[in-house]
Amino acid sequence: MNLLPKQIEVKNKITLVSNAIGLDPSWAISIAMTESSLGLNQRSRTGCKGVFQMSSIAMKDLLKEMEKTDDDIIDITCGLAFLHLLLKRFKTIEEATRHFCDPNDKDFYIKRVFDYMKEFSNER
């Protein structure tokens, strides 16, 4: 199949995340291809968005499931997606962290996060 460079980029991202969370990448890519032709900014007539054409109902269902399950993959994936969103929105790790935590704890929280970052960076 001949894919455009942007489609290849999306396919590679889906493969990376699918492998990381234990899903069959060919299944995930096939769903995304069927839904959006691997297009990031697709929007359906019904309001579904993105590569997987997720509806707001599907997103709410995912978040509701996260509240009642101990599925670490859903928890980790949602948490990382939110961190990604904050970083995209606020541009720096410090500002993204500031908006992740309780405003009353921000100075303590940011210091603690950066201390842990130094520690984990030294482990590499």
Per-residue pLDDT of 23-36, as tens digits, reads 899 999 999 999 99
Long-range pairs for 113-117: beta carbons < 8 A, 24 or more residues apart: 117/93
Domain presence at residue 23: yes
Split into its structural domains, the chain has a count of 1
Please check whether residue 8 lies inside any domain of the structure: yes
In-domain check, residue 99: no
Q: Which residues contact 74 (CB under 8 A, 6 or more apart)?
A: 62, 65, 66
In a domain, 19, yes or no: yes
Q: Is residue 117 part of a domain?
A: no
Q: How confident is the model at residue 7 (pLDDT cuts 50, 70, 90)?
A: very high
Output the pLDDT for position 94: 93
Domain that holds residue 9: 1-54
In tens, the pLDDT along 58-109 reads 888 888 887 877 778 877 787 788 899 999 999 999 999 999 988 888 899 9
Instruction: Give 3's pLDDT tier (boundaries 50, 70, 90).
Output: very high
Residue 29 lies in a domain: yes
Inside any domain, residue 109: no
- Residue 89 inside a domain? The answer is no
Check: pTM over 0.95? Answer yes or no. no
Asked if pLDDT for residue 6 goes beyond 80, the answer is yes
Amino acid 124: pLDDT: 65
